C-alpha cells in the first residue's frame, strides 16, 4: 500500500473507516512529510502535532465503536482565517497575533464530526488580500513545482500543502479567486461553492458579499467528498440557503454527453498567453470528444469585472476591518489616548496591501465619491449577474482559463499592485455573480508549470459542475508525479 499521504481523501477515509489503517498512522505520515519538507515550501504557519494526534486517536475510537465517518483520518490544512477550537486564528496578520477563537467555525465543526483531523494553520495573504501569498506578515509560501515561483493566493498555503502531498485536503476561502487561482498555480483542484452554500460562521470576514469557503484537493472526487461534508444551511449564517445539496459524489459519473459546454468568448479576446490558449483549445477538444455540445457564450461585463471587484471587495473590507482597533484583540500599540490607540495599532498591525485595500475602500465609500464608485460598481455587478443568467440560457456550464499564465516569480509583481490584481481576471466574475466554480489542472507548460481550466455553473448547480469537471479531469491526464520541489 502506498504511503497514505500520497493517496487522496476518499482512499484515506475509506481505509481508516474500514479499519485497514488507523487515523493515527495517517496523521503521523502527514506530520512526517511536513516535518521533512515544509522548511522549503513554507505552507504552514503553525503545525499542531499534539492536538492532531489527540484528534486522530478520537477518530480511531469512533471507528472502533462502529462509526464510519466520511473523512475518517483525513489530515487537513486549514487556512489561517477559519476558527478551529483550541488553535489560534491569525489571518497571517500581526494585528491578530495570539488570537484564540471562542470555538469551531461551522466548517471546522462539520469536518471534525466527519472525522477529519487538523494538522496546522496554512499560510495565506494577510486577511486573504492577495494573489501570491507574498502578503503574509510571516513568510512567503513557495510553489512545489518551482521554489522560485509563488504558490498563488490567497489560499497559497493550503494549495501548496496539498500539491506537495503533505495532506490530502486543504481548505481555503475564495473572495475573488483565492481558492481557484492558487489551486491552478499548484496543479491541484480548487472549488468555490455557490455563495450561500457553505456557512461563513467562524470565517474572519474580508468582503461579506463575496467570501465563500471551499476545498482544495488532488482530484475532483476528493473535492466533491470534502464539499459534501461542509455544504448546507446553517442558522449561524443567515446568508446560507436552504437548498438541497444533492449528491455531488453521485454526479461524478454522469459525464457530459449532451451537456452544453459554453466557452467564454471574452476570455479568448484579450491577448491570451500562448500556452493558456493552447490549453483552452485542448479543453474544447476534450469536451467535444466526451460528447458535449461545445458552444461559444458571451458574458460582456466580464471585461469590467476587475474594476467592479476592487471597488466592492475593498469597500466591504474597509468596513469589516474597522473592528481591528486594539480594543478587543491582538497587540495594542499606544495607550496615550483613544484616537492614537486606534491609529497606532492599525498602522503597526496591518501590512501594506491591507492598508491599500482599506484606503481604496474608504475612498469608494467617502462622501463625494460614493455614487461614482461604489454605486456604479454595484449597478455594474447586477448587469454582470444578468449577463450570466442569459449565458446560462445558452449553456449548462461555462469554461474559461483559471489563470492568465503560470505561477509568476516571487517578487515579480509586488511593486505593481494593479498588475497583481489583474491576475484574478478569470476568477473574479464567478465571485461577483455568486456562482459555483472549480479549477481543474489542465496540463503543464513547456517549463513544467501547471495551468488550470475553470468550469462555472448556475447558482446551486454544483452537481453539473462536478460532473463536467470529472469528465474533463479523466481525459486531461494531468501527470500524477510528485512536484519536483516536494520530493524529500
Partner 1 sequence: MPPTPSIVTPDVVRRIAELARLRVPEAELPRWTEQLSRIVGHIDLLKQIPEEAFGSPPAEPATPLRADSPEPGKGDEALRANAPREMHGFGAVPRVVGAGG
Q: Which residues bind partner 1 (CB under 8 A)?
A: 98-103, 235, 238, 242, 301, 303-304, 306-308, 310-311, 318, 322, 325-332, 335-338, 341-344, 346-347, 350, 355-356, 358-360, 362-363, 366, 369, 373, 376-380, 382-383, 417-418, 421
Residue 154 appears among annotated catalytic residues? yes
Report the nearest approach of partner 1 to the CB of residue 46 (Å).
Answer: 17
* CB closer to partner 1, 295 vs 338: 338
Q: How far is residue 86's CA from residue 364's CA, in Å, rounded to a whole number?
A: 38
- Closest contact distance (angstroms) between CB of 209 and partner 1 is 11
Q: How far is the CB of 93 from partner 1 (least distance, A)?
A: 14
Q: How far is the CB of 355 from partner 1 (least distance, A)?
A: 6
Tally of helices (H runs) and strands (E runs) in the chain = 16, 13
Minimum CB separation from partner 1 for residue 241, in Å? Answer: 8
Nearest of 475, 354, 426 to residue 152 by alpha carbon: 426
The separation between CA 242 and the C-alpha centre of its own chain, rounded to angstroms, equals 23
Residue 126 CB, nearest approach to partner 1 (Å) = 14
The CA radius of gyration of the chain, in Å to the nearest whole number, is: 21
Contact, 230 vs 213, CB < 8 A? yes
Q: Which of 37, 93, 136, 154 is labelled catalytic?
A: 154
- Catalytic residue, candidates 158, 178, 219, 221: 178
Our CB check for partner 1 shows the closer of 145 and 324 to be 324
Q: How many other CB atoms are found less than 10 A from the CB of residue 117?
A: 29
- Cβ closer to partner 1: 287 or 310? 310
DSSP assignments along 315-381, one per residue:
HHHHHHGGG-SSSSSS-----S-HHHHHHHHHHHHS-HHHHHHHHHHHHHHSTTTTIIIIIHHHHHH
Positive or negative, the Cα torsion across 155, 161, 164, 167? negative
Q: Which is nearer to partner 1, 284 or 332 (CB)?
A: 332
Which of these, 259, 282, 222, 294, lies nearest to 464 by C-alpha position? 259
- Are 143 and 110 a contacting pair, CB within 8 Å? no
CB 440 within 8 A of CB 471: no
Place of cell 467570501: 211
Catalytic residue among 79, 333, 413, 464: 79
79 is catalytic: yes
Residue 209 falls in the annotated catalytic set: no
Give whichever of 341 and 482 is closer to partner 1, judged by the CB atom. Answer: 341
Nearer to partner 1 among residue 33 and residue 301 (C-beta): 301
Q: Which sequence positions are flagged as catalytic?
A: 79, 154, 178
Amino acid at each position: 500500500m502506498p504511503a497514505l499521504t500520497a493517496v487522496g481523501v476518499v482512499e484515506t477515509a475509506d481505509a481508516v473507516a474500514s479499519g485497514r489503517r488507523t487515523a493515527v498512522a495517517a496523521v503521523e505520515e502527514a506530520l512526517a512529510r511536513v516535518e521533512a519538507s515544509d522548511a522549503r515550501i513554507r505552507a504552514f504557519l503553525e503545525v499542531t502535532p499534539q492536538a492532531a494526534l489527540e484528534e486522530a486517536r478520537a477518530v480511531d475510537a469512533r471507528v472502533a465503536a462502529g462509526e464510519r465517518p466520511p473523512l475518517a483520518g483525513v489530515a487537513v490544512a486549514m487556512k489561517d482565517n477559519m476558527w478551529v477550537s483550541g488553535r489560534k486564528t491569525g489571518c497571517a496578520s500581526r494585528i491578530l497575533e495570539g488570537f484564540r477563537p471562542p470555538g469551531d467555525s461551522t466548517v471546522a465543526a462539520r469536518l471534525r464530526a466527519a472525522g477529519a483531523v487538523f494538522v496546522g494553520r496554512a499560510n495565506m495573504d494577510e486577511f486573504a488580500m492577495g494573489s501570491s501569498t507574498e502578503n503574509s506578515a510571516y513568510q512567503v509560501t513557495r510553489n512545489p513545482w518551482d521554489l522560485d515561483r509563488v504558490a498563488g493566493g490567497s489560499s497559497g498555503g493550503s494549495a501548496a500543502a496539498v500539491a506537495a502531498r503533505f495532506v490530502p485536503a486543504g481548505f481555503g476561502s475564495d473572495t475573488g479567486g483565492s481558492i481557484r487561482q492558487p489551486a491552478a498555480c499548484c496543479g491541484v483542484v480548487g472549488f468555490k461553492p455557490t455563495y450561500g452554500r457553505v456557512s461563513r460562521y467562524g470565517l474572519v470576514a474580508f468582503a461579506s458579499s463575496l467570501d465563500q469557503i471551499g476545498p482544495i484537493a488532488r482530484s475532483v472526487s476528493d473535492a466533491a467528498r470534502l464539499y459534501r461534508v461542509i455544504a448546507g444551511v446553517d442558522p449561524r449564517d443567515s446568508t446560507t440557503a436552504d437548498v438541497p445539496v444533492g449528491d455531488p459524489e453521485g454526479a461524478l459519473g454522469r459525464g457530459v454527453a449532451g451537456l452544453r459546454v459554453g466557452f467564454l468568448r471574452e476570455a479568448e479576446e484579450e491577448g491570451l498567453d500562448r500556452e493558456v490558449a493552447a490549453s483552452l483549445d485542448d479543453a474544447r477538444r476534450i469536451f467535444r470528444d466526451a460528447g458535449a455540445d461545445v458552444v461559444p457564450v458571451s458574458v460582456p461585463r466580464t471585461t469590467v469585472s476587475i474594476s467592479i471587484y476592487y471597488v466592492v471587495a475593498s469597500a466591504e473590507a474597509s468596513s469589516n476591518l474597522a473592528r481591528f482597533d486594539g480594543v478587543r484583540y491582538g497587540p495594542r500599540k499606544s495607550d496615550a489616548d483613544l484616537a492614537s490607540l486606534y491609529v497606532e495599532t492599525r498602522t503597526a498591525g496591518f501590512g501594506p496591501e491591507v492598508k491599500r485595500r482599506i484606503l481604496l475602500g474608504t475612498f469608494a465609500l467617502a462622501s463625494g465619491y460614493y455614487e461614482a464608485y461604489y454605486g456604479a460598481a454595484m449597478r455594474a455587478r447586477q448587469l454582470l449577474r444578468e449577463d450570466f443568467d442569459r449565458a446560462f440560457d445558452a449553456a449548462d456550464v461555462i469554461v474559461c482559463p483559471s489563470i492568465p499564465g503560470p505561477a509568476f516569480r516571487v517578487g515579480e509583481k509586488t511593486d505593481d499592485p494593479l498588475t497583481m490584481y489583474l491576475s484574478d481576471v478569470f476568477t473574479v466574475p464567478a465571485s461577483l455573480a455568486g456562482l459555483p466554480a472549480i479549477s481543474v489542472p489542465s496540463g503543464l507548460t513547456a517549463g513544467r508549470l501547471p495551468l488550470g481550466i475553470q468550469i462555472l455553473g448556475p447558482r446551486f448547480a454544483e452537481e453539473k459542475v462536478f460532473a463536467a469537471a470529472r469528465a474533463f479531469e479523466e481525459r486531461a491526464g494531468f501527470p500524477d508525479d510528485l512536484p519536483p520541489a516536494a520530493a524529500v
